[in-house]
Chains A and B, each alone.
Chain A
Amino acid sequence: MSETVVLIAEEEIILLPEKGLFWEKEKLLVVSDLHLGKAGHFRKHGIPVSKKIHFTDFQILESMIQRVKPERVILLGDLFHSAENNEWDDFLRFLELYKFIDFILVEGNHDILTEYPPTLTRTLKLELHPFSFTHIKEPSDMYNISGHIHPGVSIRGKGRQSITMPCFYFAKDYGVLPAFGQFTGIKKIRPKKEDRVYGIAEGSVIELT
């Protein structure tokens, strides 16, 4: 596992290979697009996708939490994929287990549930100077951090080789997180010249130039 420290809006930020972003000074962990319950939603409609896929999501989230020990965790939208199913109960148990941590849901377009536990704070936008957190990118006076698009990039090399991988990317006034959920895809983006891009491959966060 190798993480990468970057300077964003003059704040030191750690990019974790588990696809989380950690603001050490504030003990704040941010993960986006978990899409929990997606496998269950598919099963309900006759497409057999194992529930183990979300166990893996929880395992990775747990190991990340135990390693960086955050006081607050921002779930940056699309926490739950669709209408309620059994997998929501798994998430509630998870919250119970980590009730000493503040979980904040910045709601996304997939978050259509009507009932949430009181222990989960919900908001459409969270501002913590110098950052504003939203699920979908939006203009702000502060540095905006969002998810939603599940960004990925391709790099090319000699021998007509290429690799596509999920990434973090940071433009001048906004940044985008990769999708955390195992049962999600990626959307290829083409960063601009001045954007900073960090690819994630086999437990490493690697700066791509």
Chain B
Amino acid sequence: MTDKALIKIGEDWFKSKNWETFDFQREAWSAYLEGKSGLLNAPTGSGKTFALWIPCLLEFLRDHEPYDVKPELQILWITPLRALAKDIQRAMQLVCDEMDIRWKVGLRTGETTTSERQRQKKIAPQALVITPESLHVLLSQSDYPNYLKNIKSIIVDEWHELIGTKRGVATELAISRIKKLTENRLKVWGISATIGNLPQAKRVLLGEDLYKDAVSIKSNIEKKIEVTSIMPEEVEKFPWSGYLGIKLLDKVLPIIHQSNTTLLFTNTRSQTELWYQAILKEAPELAGIIAMHHGSMDQNIRGWVEDALHEGKLKLVVCTSSLDLGVDFRPVDTVIQIGGPKGVSRFQQRAGRSGHGPGEVSKIYFVPTHSLELIEGAALRSAIKEGKFEQRKPLEKCLDVLVQYLVTLSVSGGFRPLEILQEIKQTYCYRLLSADEWNWALEFITTGGSTLGEYDEFSRVYNDDGVYKIINNKAALRHKLSIGTIVGDPAMSVKLISGGHLGTVEESFVSKLNPGDRFWFAGQNLEFIRIKDLTVLVKKSKRKSGLTPAWGGGRLPLSSLLSDQIRDKLQRAVEGDYSDVELQKIKPILDLQNKMSMIPDKDSLLIEKVETEHGHHLFFFTFEGMFVHEVLAGLIAYRISRLQKITFSISMNDYGFELLSDQEIAIEEALELDLFSEENIYQDINESINMTEMAQRKFRDVATIAGLIFQGYPGKNIKARHLQASSGILYRAFKEYDQNNLLLKQSMEEVMTLQLDQSRFMEAIRRINSQQIILKETQKPTPFAFPILVDMIRRERLSSEDVTDRILKMQMQLERSVGSD
């Protein structure tokens, strides 16, 4: 059959559905049938799945008789979210059925049952929808080369979500292996929403060997987005986070009532619980048509919510990023975002969850959680108007992921180092891996990483005549259970004593509960009964008060694109341009800020100095986002601490950072000595990272991914007795006794690279150096300083004083328990 005739088959199927075939779909079909690899840039809801799934089937029809279906895996469809996998698998299977192609589309995620996995092993489906983690689990099975060798193509959905993460790196590695197994006949395709670095995204996914000849296809579907900020009647002069949000409920409810179906996005799972409660209390008539959706809720409950959304049974779903991706929920016509989304791309993506019809406008409402955040509303609108998108920078040389991958291969029959080295050198992540780094990784899994005999009795992987194999079955099993690169706080499942799994909460939250305590979870008030076998047993409570669990992680920093926009908005305010409604609204705050101190324009860096009951504060308003501030604050604190013996507590938000000390800070002197100098800057940053806990925090993830920390396996009865050590203890052991350990080095580097790229940091430093530094001494904390002061997001400490001196100075304020018995 000619390609033209094949394409007609696809078009006919579209016609049978009364759909129009878009140009980008036809373009993708042809390119695919020509055997090309490539990247498709198309938004959710545009028919992107069919753009790449149809040609997989057409290729089969070209090369086989329609009924000549063998139990061989042909297509791997990688998706970042388990929740999406089922929907996509269903849609893909439907096309096969309707085109009368006897393919089976399988589903393989962490939730796939053992019996289903066994079935897939025995009789391979022709296509498999799979997550990166499950793909690595496949690679840990001994017969994987046979199983995967007939694959025609790998298609990675929502690649923009994976690039820039370690899951993306894991995807690169798996692809590099399968390329070899298929004797380099593999096609690799990515589907990505718009990001600022699409050409790079293509290179990273396809690898050094494929990207040059590959195609880029862009859908011409542009969505119009309308951003409306919800304004408070009055703005409080001293804004802090969390204060405003729910107070705006009376303005949010009419929007919900007027809409067909609304998605209300919050930034954290805890916020989701709070908003759900508040809405039900204010609008009890919504009971039964309101639901909640977040990542800690049980899969079945989430599935139920998704189905109900599809069927238009729900008026409102309060959710987190758990509903960012995936297939469209057609009934949704309104999106509300609570709090700054911190990035333009994410905001657009959420907005795109409403208004699907061609030419329809996506409407999104922005609800600030404090008045200053209104600036973000104005900044978002400008960025969208100017068509700007953030870049997602890929990671490089992640040794922790490499170590995990090598052990995975050692579990499934072993690997030959040279062969694997050649393969991974074709990936973007490891293209610049040095011989030393590679040898270290091999040493690390065989001898522990040191040749000095400090690691006697070490056993993990051994060299069996050139083939590296796992030492024993127990080690193999433990490794299989810990494959993956998502590191969270240890979680415990929540179960009703009457039966029924509700989801998970973090161990740190549970540890604070006493029997009888109540907390909100998945919108229900629960009474804590006891802990049994790593499960939190609860019963439903009729009471209306209780704690809200805090789930860690996931707080995103302001993107550099959005920080630029915010600085620009402030510049306008200084010039007296209040044409944005948001800025007009917060003019009273800006006026007060101006009166007490000043509003920095783009040529000045404002530093405020103030003394309160807590001590001596310095506030730096650099507007660079939390991650940059963390490193910058450490650097500045370190440089001051060399001038005087001093101890700092550091906190930060997206707009600035605070250095707090019990003693007067000689900032005037420090500024004269050029606090922001580029001289020795990397050395000083390294010192400051060493003196704070930044690297240690990164080390937790690195060490877990490299298999040094066992997180425990919920539901799996595997004992890791006597193998528990916190990342802090391991970190100190490495630092003291194995300083050259590359995982330590990686943790240090991740502070810089994962958190911000060095170029962004140096750009910030250069801008500061071109600015005029203005030091204002104020009587009280100003409106700008106030949110940093009360929010206390992330604390760091840095000290150049002796511990004993500090203890004596602290007047022994020992933390004692209340009361005595």
A residues engaging B (CB < 8 A)?
Answer: 38-53, 81-82, 85-86, 110, 153-161, 163, 165, 182-185, 190-195, 197, 199, 201-202, 204, 206, 208-209
Contacts and interface: CB of A to CB of B under 8 A. Distances in A.
B512 to A, nearest CB: 13
Contact of A185 (B457, B726, B734): B726
B804 A206 contact: yes
A8 B172 CA distance: 63
Interface stretch (B63-71, B270-278, B795-803): B795-803
A43 B757 CA distance: 35
**Interface of B: prevailing SS:** loop
Contacts of B18: none
B821 A185 contact: no
Contacts of A202: 802-804
Contact of B475 (A45, A48, A155, A159): A45
Interface string B770-811: 000000000000000000000010010100001110111111
A159 B614 contact: yes
B814 A201 contact: no
B1 interface: no
A49 B808 CA distance: 35
A1 B140 CA distance: 53
B808 A86 contact: no
B616 interface: yes
A46 B725 contact: no
A198 to B, nearest CB: 11
Contact of B662 (A45, A47, A159, A192): A159
Contacts of A154: 814-815
Interface of B: 444-445, 448-450, 454-461, 471, 475, 478, 614-616, 647-649, 660-663, 707-708, 721-723, 725-726, 728-730, 733-734, 736-738, 792, 795, 797, 802-804, 806-817, 819-821
Contacts of B445: 46
B803 A201 contact: yes
A163 B814 contact: no
A171 B463 CA distance: 55
A182 B663 CA distance: 34
A201 B662 CA distance: 20
Nearest to A204: B804
B810 A48 contact: no
Contacts of A185: 725-726, 728-729
B820 A192 contact: yes
A64 B806 CA distance: 26
B816 A192 contact: yes
A155 B810 contact: yes
A53 B707 contact: no
Nearest to A157: B810
Contacts of B729: 183-185
A191 B723 contact: no
A183 B471 CA distance: 25
Please give me the 7 A-B residue pairs with the lowest Cβ-Cβ distance, nearest first: A48-B448, A157-B810, A46-B460, A50-B737, A159-B615, A159-B662, A190-B817
Contacts of A194: 820
A9 B616 CA distance: 45
Contacts of A184: 729
Contacts of B736: 53
A93 to B, nearest CB: 15
B546 to A, nearest CB: 24
Contacts of B475: 45-46
